Amino acid sequence: MSATSVNAPGGTLHHATAIILGGVGLLITGASGSGKSRLALALLNRVNALEPLAFINPDTMATPPYTEPLESQAGASALVADDQVLVTAGAQLPGAQAPTTLQGLIEVRGLGIAHMPWIARADIHFVISLTDAATWPRLPDARSVELAGCTIANVRVPTGDLAHQMLLIDIALGQHG
């Protein structure tokens, strides 16, 4: 699926960000610096799922305040993984989880690495593909992708304009129930 994925024990490691939004798992892919973390934070912020972020002091690397994942529940919204996502095969949908060393961590560009509550694992319902705005097609070419042996809905959104990205994601989520 991605040029930035490698085989790992138990699955495939993807350079991506994963969140769960109202119980729907999203895997956000794109080039380095394309805004994956920014989009995830904006989507979580919109549903009031951003707990106070605890920024890690790079001088002390202090122990993060959140040491255990949140209990997964129907309709939940939370971070799953940022920067590296382990994608595993599931019964009907692929799953996403963070490597142990990155659990609960997310990069807030310009502010640093933050620690926030996270969910240990989520099913992936959609892949959100951040695409260079200069090459973003007016009409989509692929509406699905193969991921861990499953066909998953793929929503291509242009990099840059966060409001446009969120509008396209809202429309796609509404169309797929």
Interatomic CA distance for residues 142 and 48, integer angstroms: 32
Interatomic CA distance for residues 118 and 139, integer angstroms: 35
pLDDT, residue 2, reads 47
Contact 170, 124 (CB under 8 A): no
Using CB atoms within 10 Å of the CB of residue 20, give its burial: 0 to 12 exposed, 13 to 18 middle, 19+ buried: buried
> Beta 105-108 vs 95-97: how paired, if at all?
unpaired
Q: Which of 12, 14, 115 is nearest to 4 (CA)?
A: 14
Written as one letter, the residue type at 121 is R
- For the chain, the C-alpha Rg in angstroms (whole number) is 15
Q: What is the pLDDT of residues 41-86, one digit of tens each?
A: 999 988 876 666 777 766 766 656 677 788 777 788 899 999 999 9
Domain 5-124 has CATH 3.40.50.2300: no
Please report how the helices 36-46 and 162-175 are oriented relative to each other, as an axis angle in degrees rounded to 10.
Answer: 70
Check pLDDT > 90 for residue 17: yes
Average per-residue pLDDT for the chain: 86
Average pLDDT over residues 133-155: 86
The residue extents of the domains of the chain are: 5-124
Q: What is the pLDDT of residues 89-123, one digit of tens each?
A: 988 999 999 999 999 999 988 888 888 889 999 99
